[in-house]
Structure 1
Amino acid sequence: MAGPASFAGPIGNPVTIATDRYAAILGASPSKGARSPLLWNAAFRAAGIDAVMHPMDVTAGDLPAVVAALKADQRFVGGAVAVPHKQALVSLLDRVEPEAARIGAVNAIYRDGGALVGANTDGAGALSQIEELVGGANALMTRRALVLGLGGAGLAVAAFLAGRVTELTVANRSRATAGAVAAKLGTLVADWPVGADVTSKVDLVVNATSVGHKDGPAGSPLDEAALAALPASAAVYDVIYQPEVTALLAAAAARGLATRNGLGMNLDQAVIAFGKAVPGALDMDAVRAAMRAA
């Protein structure tokens, strides 16, 4: 291979490619602490592959040029997609898997010859965690769920919950976005901010907004009254894992509600995505073990 060289695309952080192959996570600022490189690099080491996942800070305007540079470099095997690019990336790839097309967002990329393919593993990763939180798939079927936020992760979670719960309500700052998703998935729509009149009728809340993230708006997406209205049997799941205990989860736990953060989802979606980018390198149990130990 050629010697180490700076990545050719217009990114906001320095990246030097010095391995036979490499992966990347594309987002607004993954260089500030995204967990995916830690997980993928552990799996690369376990598989004996000379590869590294690099965080790449990409603006919306530079995204097309970065994707073109990745496609042109055969060393690029694939990787992950973080906010805010999960939806915008769909139109820049050669094709997307059917599930990702239905959701309208991708969180994973992999190479297929000269083509870059998009996939969405967020929903599958979240579903397994939510099922564990509430006591299994059968228990989930009895729940009335509320999904807050309909960006890439929220869309994926809503798509995977639709048909797997008794009733699903979606809420988003943009009512038009929420209405479009509801029409597509056959769900109910709640106004934003969500009030106690809605939360009193649900027993599973999923936060897929950035509210409470270390780099996002402070506080909780549910105010005190809305949280207090949740029944004692309710469960609260937050896709955020930085910090591990968000304001929402802390308030829910103080009420005695079952809670879980997004660490497990982050692991599960990464396991699935790694398998698409480097098929056959390791079986999924080995990938999960390597990533869990990272």
Structure 2
Amino acid sequence: MAVKDDIARIQSGIRNPLDRRAIGAKQLVAVIGDSPSRYSKSPALWNAAFRALKMKTVYVALDVDDDRLQDLIAAVRESGRLLGLQVTVPHKVAVMKHLDAIDEKAAKVGAVNTITRMEDGRLLGANTDGEGFVQSLLAGQPGGAAPLIESLSGINALILGAGGSARAVAFALAERLEQGRLLISNRTHESAASLAAEIGKSHANVEAIDEKKILERAPGVELIVNCTTKGQGGIRKNGAGITTLEPYSALGPANPAGLTEDGGPEFYRACMSASLADIEANNRASWKLALSIPLKAGFYDLIYHPEETVFLRHGRLTGHRTLNGRGMIVAQAVEAFCSHICRDALRRAGMDNPETRAKLLEVMAKAW
């Protein structure tokens, strides 16, 4: 496919315009999702890594609607300049049917966050979320902070959510809790039950609980992980229009009003006004629950924008240790870079080694 046609087809599958640097690049890597151009840190991390390794590659964010996903993947398949993709919400599950192969870990998780394009155009799916989560949880954080959890062996954990990221986290935890118990709660209980049943085929001590049971069961856990979008900054779609979930905590129910117009200077004010009663109810429920959870429990939020969500703030102010998703994003990005999307390029350059991984961890953490 000619370069001009190549870019035109990619552009036709996304909402945000490609910039001049991306259009002129000989090699591209991209993140696809609903609106990663608004919030994703991945371009800054990956582009810093490319500069550090002197690779002439550009990383871009692509905003992709559900009904354009198939067309975009087809364009990526035919584009010789795309090395691969990272995938974020809400496409981690939906994208799988458009790929040529899925590795064992991603198939078990049932979600893909990394796609490698082979030279013949085949697209291979993988999932690095679970590995990134565990590394960020157990390793010291950038700046010398102590790990949130010293060991996962024997602890009880609660996961909030049952989507693509939650699936990766749930399987990663189940493999390491040993005699500990894994609880999964989701707004739609059937989704939590389905995930628990899948994990239960290979790991014992997994249970789905209704949201109404969280207050009863949470005091018995040592780790709570938010894998929902409650608390995430930015604008999101809901059944009634568009809204924001930033004022909400993952520890309470959220039923925000939807507005019909996007992005004006009064948008957030209008959202707060329309959803004020619901936000207040959510925050009261969250405070009550946070106060009931023993101090030994750690609060982990996969969200990194804002850096401190309502969930994490309530955890911190009730004396708990807290951690956001920054470390996970960095760790999973390094895994995706070295083991999947850029693996062949690193091998050709003689840089496929532990030293490169360590360098990229440092470079990406600083680029945050």
Name the TM-score, length of structure 2 as normaliser: 0.76
Counterpart in the other structure of 2:327: 264
Query: Distance between the aligned counterparts of 2:87 and 2:49, measured in 1?
Result: 18
Query: Distance between the aligned counterparts of 2:23 and 2:361, measured in 1?
Result: 26
Alpha-carbon distance, 1:233 to partner? 0.8
Counterpart in the other structure of 1:208: 227
Counterpart in the other structure of 2:132: 125
Aligned length: 292
Indicate the larger mover: 125-134 or 161-170.
Answer: 125-134
Q: Which has the higher strand share?
A: 1
SS at match of 2:9: coil
Alpha-carbon distance, 1:164 to partner? 1.4
Q: 1:2 to 1:68 in 2, by over 3 A?
A: closer
In structure 2, give the amino acid aligned to 1:8.
R
Indicate the larger mover: 176-185 or 14-23.
Answer: 14-23
Q: Which has the higher helix share?
A: 2
Q: Which runs of 5+ in 2 are unaligned?
A: 140-146, 201-205, 235-243, 252-285
In structure 1, give the amino acid aligned to 2:43.
P
2:199 counterpart (163, 185, 198): 185
In structure 2, give the amino acid aligned to 1:277.
I
Query: Distance between the aligned counterparts of 1:243 and 1:271, measured in 2?
Result: 22
Counterpart in the other structure of 2:342: 278
1:173 counterpart (181, 184, 187): 187
Name the TM-score, length of structure 1 as normaliser: 0.94
Q: 1:2 to 1:196 in 2, by over 3 A?
A: closer
In structure 1, give the amino acid aligned to 2:16.
N
In structure 2, give the amino acid aligned to 1:71.
R
Counterpart in the other structure of 2:265: none
1:140–1:164 contact (8 Å) kept in structure 2: yes
Alpha-carbon distance, 1:47 to partner? 1.6
Query: Distance between the aligned counterparts of 2:77 and 2:5, measured in 1?
Result: 19
2:303 counterpart (240, 257, 260): 240
In structure 2, give the amino acid aligned to 1:180.
S
Counterpart in the other structure of 2:279: none
Alpha-carbon distance, 1:293 to partner? 2.2
Q: Percent identity?
A: 36
Alpha-carbon distance, 1:11 to partner? 0.6
1:143 counterpart (155, 159, 174): 155
Q: Which runs of 5+ in 1 are unaligned?
A: none
Indicate the larger mover: 212-221 or 279-288.
Answer: 279-288
1:231 counterpart (291, 294, 299): 294
2:58 counterpart (49, 52, 62): 52
Are 1:164 and 2:183 counterparts?
no
Query: Distance between the aligned counterparts of 1:181 and 1:290, measured in 2?
Result: 35
SS at match of 2:83: strand
Query: Distance between the aligned counterparts of 2:322 and 2:291, measured in 1?
Result: 15
